[in-house]
C-alpha cells in the first residue's frame, strides 16, 4: 500500500493564553484522493490546513507531508505543493497573465506565453488575462488564486474555500477542474462549507468541531453510519404540521418550513406513508429522499450552519 | 537567480504602476532641487527688501542711499515721512526698515555724531545680512567723509577646487535624503502591506527565500535610485550653476545607501503590522535623521551633543560620503564612509533576514 501523502498523529495547536485550536487530531490522506475537511467557523480547519501547508508551527504532534517530517523544514517539498489560502488577495497591480508568469518563476516552473494562457483558460479567466487584478470581481480573484495554486502541477493541492464567491456555473466548472486534477494523480485537500460540494467531490471527509475530528470516512460511510438512510419530507407543513406529528408520537424535525420524518429502515416506508396519510396535516407535496452529508453534519454538530457560521 | 530577477521585475512593474512610489523616487528630489536651488541662488544678498524713511533730504542722506543702492544687496523703497516706522513694519509684516533722522546731514556738516537706525525682527534671516552690509556701507561713508582709507583689510580665498555655492553643499544632502525616503519608508510600507494583505503568507507557499526577496528589493531600489540621481543631477546642472560633480564613488554610495536603507526598512517591517503603524514608526526614525544628519545644513556649528547624536544616524555617513566625493573630491574619505554605510546595511540585512517571519506563529 502507498505511503499516505499526509500523515498526522496527535496534532495539537495551542494559542496563548488558553486557546486550543486543534486538539490532538489524527489524519491520514492517501495519494490521489480528494479529502475534505468540514466544520463550522472556529472548528480548527484553517489552522490544521495551514500547519499541513507549512505556514504555521504546531505545538505538538507528528506531521508528515509527501513523506517528509515537516518539523525538519518544508523546503524539500515546497515546490511539490500547491496552496490556495482562505483569504487569497491577488497582486492588484499585476494582470492575471503577469501574475501566473511571476508565480511560475517563483516555483521554478518553465511556462511559455501559451502555457500561461492555457492555465488561465482552465479557470475561466482567458478573456480577463490582461486587465489589472484589482479590477477583477471577487469570484475572478478566486479563480486567479486557483490558477496560481496549480501553476506547478502539484502532487498535493490545498484548496481553502475555493468556491466562495463563485456563481453556480463557475462552481461546477471548478468541480470539473478538481476532478481532472485528481484524475492526473494529484491529492486534493479541500476545506469548504458547501456540504454538497464536499459530498460530490470527496473520497474522504473529516468533520471537525472544537478542534477535534468527530467523524471521518467516505461520504457514503458517514451517511450510512450517522444518517437515518431515508427521510420523508412534507413540503410546507411548518410548525403546525410538526406539532400534530409530535402529538401522534412521530419523531420529526422542521427544516425551513418543511417537516422531515426520518425512517430508520426502508421496509418501514410503506407503513409510515400510511400513517402520515391518516393524519390531518396540511402540506403542498410529499416526497422521499436519501439523507445527505448535510443531514449528518447537522446531526453531529447539533446546529445549523450557513456560510460556515453555526446558527443556533 | 531567476526567482530574484522575476521578483525584481514583478515588484518594479507594481511600483511603477503606483503613483506614490515614482513621485518620491523621481519627482520629490527634483522638486527639492528646484525649490532649494531657486532659494539659494537668489538669496546671496541681492533682493533684500529695504524700506527707507528719509526724514532728512539733505545731501548726505542722498549719498547714503546711493551707496546702499550701489551695493546691489537691497531693493530700496520709500516710506512716507509721517508714518510711524515701527507700526509700518508690523502692519506690513516686514523683516526690516531703515530710518534716516531729520538732522542727519546737518549733524555731519557740523561734525556732530550722526546715526541711522535699522529697525526690524532680528530673528529673520535677512536681518543679520542687512546689518552686515549696512555696517560696511557706513564704514565706507565714514572713510569718504574723513578722506581716509582702510589700512587693514582681508581677502577671501576659496580653498576648494572651484567656487562652491551653498547649493553644491545641499545637493548631496538631497540625494542622501531621497535614498532614505525612497528605500526605507517605501520598504517599511511594503512590509506592512505584504503582511496585512497576506502576501507574505502567499510568498511563503513558493520556493522564494526571504533573503532573495530582500535582495530583489535592494536591486530594484539601487537601479531606481541611480536613475533618480542621474535625473536630479541633470536638472540641477541644467538649471543652476552647479560645481558638484557626479563621480563613480557617488554611484557606489547610492548603491550602498540603497542597500542600507532597504535593509533598515525591512528590519522596521519586522515589527509593523499595518500601513498606519508603518508610517508612524518610519517617521519616528526618519524625521530625526532628516534634520540631524546634515542633509540641509552643516552640523559642525551645532552643539556637541547634537554632533554626537548625528554620528549615530546612518544617513550622516551617506551624506558625508556623498559630499566628500561630489563636492570636496576627497575619494579616500568617501570610500571610508561607503564602507561604514555598507557595514550598517549588512547588519540590518542579516537581522532582517533572521527576524522576519512570513509564517504565522
Lowest-confidence pick of A23-37, A53-67, A249-263, B204-218: A249-263
Contact between B207 and A81 using a beta-carbon 8 Å cutoff: no
Q: Give the model's pLDDT for residue B317.
A: 96
Q: Give the model's pLDDT for residue B128.
A: 84
Q: Give the model's pLDDT for residue A304.
A: 46
Lowest-confidence pick of A150-154, A241-245, B167-171: B167-171
Chain B residues with CB within 8 Å of chain A CB: 2-3, 5-7, 10, 13-14, 17-18, 197-199, 201-208, 359-361
Q: Give the model's pLDDT for residue A224.
A: 75
Lowest-confidence pick of A7-16, B146-155, B183-192, B285-294: B146-155
Probe site for chain A from B202, B203, B213 (most A CB atoms < 10 A): B202
Which positions 107-146 of A are in contact with B (Cβ < 8 Å)? Answer: 107-108, 132
Distance CA A29, CA B188 (A): 41
Beta bridge partners of A37: A191, A206
Residue with cell 550722526: B114
Q: Give the model's pLDDT for residue A263.
A: 82
For residues B48-69, give the mean pLDDT: 90
Confidence of residue A146 (pLDDT cuts 50, 70, 90): very high
What percent of chain A has pLDDT above 90?
Answer: 48
User: If you measure CA to CA, which chain A residue comes closest to B3?
Assistant: A106
Probe site for chain B from A105, A108, A147 (most B CB atoms < 10 A): A105
For residues B53-75, give the mean pLDDT: 88
Give the model confidence (pLDDT) of A107-137 as tens digits. Answer: 999 999 999 999 999 988 999 999 999 999 8
Contact between B205 and A78 using a beta-carbon 8 Å cutoff: yes
- Judging contacts by C-beta atoms under 8 Å, the chain B residues touching residue A58 are none
User: If you measure CA to CA, which chain B residue comes closest to A59?
Assistant: B361
Contact between A55 and B199 using a beta-carbon 8 Å cutoff: no
Q: Give the model's pLDDT for residue B1.
A: 58
Confidence of residue B162 (pLDDT cuts 50, 70, 90): low
Contact between B202 and A94 using a beta-carbon 8 Å cutoff: no
Beta bridge partners of A215: A207
Q: Compare CB distances from A94 to B10, B208, B361 and report the shortest one's residue.
A: B10
pLDDT at A289 over 50: yes
Probe site for chain A from B3, B6, B8, B10 (most A CB atoms < 10 A): B10
Distance CA B311, CA B318 (A): 11
Give the model confidence (pLDDT) of B71-118 as tens digits. Answer: 888 888 999 999 999 999 888 888 899 999 999 999 999 888 889 999
Q: Give the model's pLDDT for residue A310.
A: 44
Q: Give the model's pLDDT for residue B163.
A: 63
Contact between B198 and A88 using a beta-carbon 8 Å cutoff: yes
Confidence of residue A307 (pLDDT cuts 50, 70, 90): very low
Residue with cell 582702510: B150
Would you say the ipTM is above 0.90?
no
Contact between A108 and B3 using a beta-carbon 8 Å cutoff: yes
Distance, CA of B91 to chain centre: 32
Distance CA B76, CA B69 (A): 7
Instruction: Record the cell numbers describing residue A183, joined without a space.
Output: 484524475
- Judging contacts by C-beta atoms under 8 Å, the chain B residues touching residue A56 are 359-361
What percent of chain B has pLDDT above 70?
Answer: 95
For residues B224-240, give the mean pLDDT: 88
pLDDT at B43 over 70: no
- Angle CA A215–A187–A72, to nearest 5: 90
- Judging contacts by C-beta atoms under 8 Å, the chain B residues touching residue A103 are 206
Contact between A93 and B7 using a beta-carbon 8 Å cutoff: no
Q: Give the model's pLDDT for residue B160.
A: 56
Q: Looking at per-residue confidence, does A59 or A296 come out higher?
A: A59
Confidence of residue B151 (pLDDT cuts 50, 70, 90): confident
Comparing CA positions, the residue from B85, B124, B127 lying closest to residue B102 is B85
Q: Compare CB distances from B207 to A91, A92, A106 and report the shortest one's residue.
A: A106
User: If you measure CA to CA, which chain A residue comes closest to B7?
Assistant: A102
Q: Give the model's pLDDT for residue B158.
A: 62
Average model confidence (pLDDT) for chain B? 87
Confidence of residue A138 (pLDDT cuts 50, 70, 90): confident
Q: Give the model's pLDDT for residue A272.
A: 87
Contact between B201 and A79 using a beta-carbon 8 Å cutoff: no
The alpha-carbon gap from B316 to the nearest alpha carbon of chain A, in Å, equals 35
pLDDT at B353 over 50: yes
Lowest-confidence pick of A84-98, A273-287, A298-312, B190-204: A298-312
Contact between B17 and A105 using a beta-carbon 8 Å cutoff: no
Give the model confidence (pLDDT) of A20-77 as tens digits. Answer: 999 999 999 999 999 999 988 888 999 999 999 999 999 999 999 999 999 988 888 9
For residues B290-308, give the mean pLDDT: 83
Q: Give the model's pLDDT for residue B294.
A: 85
Contact between B14 and A94 using a beta-carbon 8 Å cutoff: yes
Written in H, E and C, the secondary structure of chain B is CHHHHHHHHHHHHHHHHCCHHHHHHHHHHHHHHHHHHHHHHHCCCCCEEEEEEECCCCHHHHHHHHHHHHHCCEEEEECCCCCCHHHHHHHCCCCEEEEECCCHHHHHHCCCCCCCEEEECCCCCHHHHHHHHHHHHHHHHHHHHHCCCCCCCCCCCCCCCCCCCHHHHHHHHHHHHHHHHHHHHHHHHHHHHHHHCCHHHHHCCCCCCHHHHHHHHHHHHHHHHHHHHHHHHHHHHHHCCCCCCCCHHHHHHHHHHHHHHHHHHHHHHCCCCCHHHHHHHHHHHHHHHHHHCCCCCCHHHCCHHHHHHHHCCHHHHHHHHHHHHHCCCCHHHHHHHHHHHHHHHHHHHHHHHHHCCCCEC
- Judging contacts by C-beta atoms under 8 Å, the chain A residues touching residue B202 are 85, 88-89
Q: Say whether pTM exceeds 0.80.
A: no
Lowest-confidence pick of B108-117, B273-282, B285-294, B309-318: B273-282
Q: Which residues contact B180 (CB under 8 A, 6 or more apart)?
A: B257, B261, B286, B289, B290, B315, B318
Residues B203, B205, B208, B209: is their CA dihedral positive or negative? positive
Most confident of the following: B127-136, B150-159, B242-251, B341-350 = B341-350
Q: If phi over 0 gives left and psi between -120 and 50 gives alpha, with beta otherwise, what is residue B204?
A: alpha
pLDDT at A311 over 50: no
Q: Looking at per-residue confidence, does B302 or A146 come out higher?
A: A146
Contact between A105 and B3 using a beta-carbon 8 Å cutoff: yes
- Judging contacts by C-beta atoms under 8 Å, the chain B residues touching residue A81 are 205
For residues B210-239, give the mean pLDDT: 90
pLDDT at A204 over 90: yes
User: If you measure CA to CA, which chain B residue comes closest to A106?
Assistant: B3
pLDDT at B194 over 50: yes
Tell whether A90 is within 8 A of chain B (Cβ). no
Amino acid at each position: 500500500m502507498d505511503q499516505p501523502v499526509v500523515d498526522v498523529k496527535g496534532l495539537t495547536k495551542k494559542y496563548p493564553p488558553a486557546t486550543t485550536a486543534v486538539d490532538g487530531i489524527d489524519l491520514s490522506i492517501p495519494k490521489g484522493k480528494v479529502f475534505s475537511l468540514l466544520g463550522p467557523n472556529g472548528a480548527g480547519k484553517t489552522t490544521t490546513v495551514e500547519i499541513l501547508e507549512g505556514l504555521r508551527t504546531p505545538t505538538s504532534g507528528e506531521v508528515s507531508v509527501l513523506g517528509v517530517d515537516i518539523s525538519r523544514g518544508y523546503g524539500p517539498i515546497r515546490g511539490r505543493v500547491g496552496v490556495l489560502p482562505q483569504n487569497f488577495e491577488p497582486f492588484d497591480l499585476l494582470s492575471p497573465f503577469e501574475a501566473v508568469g511571476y508565480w511560475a518563476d517563483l516555483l521554478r516552473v518553465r511556462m511559455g506565453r501559451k502555457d500561461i494562457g492555457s492555465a488561465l483558460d482552465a479557470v475561466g479567466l482567458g478573456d480577463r488575462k490582461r486587465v489589472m487584478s484589482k479590477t477583477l470581481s471577487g469570484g475572478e480573484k478566486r479563480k486567479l488564486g486557483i490558477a496560481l495554486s496549480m501553476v506547478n502541477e502539484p502532487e498535493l493541492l490545498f484548496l481553502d474555500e475555493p468556491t466562495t464567491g463563485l456563481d453556480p456555473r463557475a462552481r461546477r466548472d471548478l468541480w470539473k477542474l478538481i476532478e481532472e486534477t485528481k484524475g492526473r494523480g494529484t491529492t486534493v485537500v479541500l476545506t469548504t462549507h458547501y456540504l454538497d460540494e464536499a459530498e460530490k467531490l470527496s473520497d474522504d471527509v473529516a468533520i471537525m468541531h472544537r478542534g477535534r475530528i468527530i467523524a471521518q470516512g467516505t461520504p457514503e460511510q458517514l451517511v450510512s453510519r450517522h444518517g437515518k438512510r431515508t427521510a420523508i419530507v412534507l413540503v410546507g407543513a411548518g410548525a403546525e404540521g410538526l406539532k400534530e406529528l409530535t402529538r401522534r408520537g412521530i419523531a420529526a424535525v422542521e427544516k425551513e418550513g418543511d417537516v422531515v420524518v426520518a425512517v430508520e429502515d426502508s421496509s418501514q416506508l410503506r407503513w409510515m406513508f400510511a400513517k402520515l396519510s391518516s393524519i390531518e396535516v396540511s402540506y403542498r407535496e410529499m416526497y422521499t429522499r436519501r439523507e445527505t452529508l448535510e443531514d449528518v453534519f447537522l446531526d453531529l454538530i447539533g446546529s445549523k450552519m450557513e456560510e460556515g457560521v453555526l446558527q443556533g | 537567480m531567476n526567482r530574484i530577477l522575476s521578483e525584481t521585475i514583478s515588484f518594479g512593474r507594481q511600483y511603477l504602476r503606483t503613483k506614490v512610489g515614482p513621485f518620491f523616487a523621481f519627482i520629490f528630489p527634483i522638486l527639492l532641487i528646484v525649490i532649494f536651488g531657486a532659494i539659494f541662488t537668489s538669496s546671496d544678498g541681492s533682493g533684500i527688501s529695504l524700506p527707507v524713511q528719509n526724514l532728512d533730504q539733505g545731501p548726505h542722506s542722498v549719498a547714503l542711499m546711493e551707496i546702499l543702492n550701489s551695493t546691489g544687496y537691497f531693493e530700496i523703497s520709500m516710506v512716507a515721512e509721517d508714518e510711524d516706522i515701527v507700526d509700518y513694519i508690523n502692519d506690513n509684516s516686514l523683516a526690516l526698515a531703515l530710518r534716516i533722522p531729520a538732522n542727519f546731514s546737518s549733524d555731519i556738516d557740523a561734525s556732530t555724531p550722526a546715526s541711522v537706525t535699522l529697525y526690524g525682527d532680528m530673528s529673520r534671516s535677512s536681518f543679520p545680512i542687512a546689518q552686515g552690509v549696512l555696517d560696511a556701507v557706513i564704514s565706507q561713508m565714514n572713510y569718504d567723509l574723513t578722506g581716509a582709507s582702510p589700512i587693514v583689510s582681508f581677502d577671501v580665498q576659496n580653498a576648494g577646487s572651484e567656487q562652491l555655492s551653498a547649493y553644491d553643499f545641499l545637493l548631496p544632502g538631497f540625494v542622501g535624503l531621497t535614498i532614505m525616503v525612497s528605500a526605507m519608508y517605501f520598504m517599511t510600507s511594503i512590509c506592512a502591506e505584504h503582511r496585512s494583505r497576506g502576501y507574505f503568507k502567499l510568498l511563503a507557499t513558493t520556493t522564494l527565500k526571504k533573503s532573495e526577496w530582500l535582495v530583489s528589493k535592494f536591486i530594484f531600489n539601487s537601479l531606481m535610485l541611480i536613475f533618480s540621481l542621474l535625473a536630479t543631477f541633470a536638472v540641477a546642472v541644467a538649471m543652476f550653476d552647479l560645481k558638484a560633480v557626479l563621480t563613480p564613488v557617488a554611484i557606489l554610495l547610492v548603491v550602498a545607501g540603497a542597500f542600507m536603507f532597504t535593509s533598515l526598512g525591512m528590519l522596521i517591517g519586522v515589527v509593523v503590522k499595518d500601513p498606519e503603524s508603518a508610517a508612524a514608526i518610519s517617521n519616528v526614525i526618519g524625521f530625526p535623521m532628516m534634520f540631524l544628519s546634515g542633509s540641509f545644513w552643516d552640523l559642525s556649528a551645532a552643539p556637541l551633543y547634537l554632533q554626537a547624536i548625528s554620528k549615530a544616524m546612518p544617513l550622516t555617513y551617506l551624506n558625508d560620503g556623498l559630499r566628500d566625493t561630489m563636492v570636496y573630491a576627497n575619494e579616500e574619505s568617501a570610500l571610508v564612509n561607503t564602507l561604514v554605510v555598507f557595514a550598517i546595511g549588512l547588519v540590518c540585512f542579516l537581522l532582517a533576514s533572521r527576524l522576519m517571519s512570513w509564517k504565522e506563529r
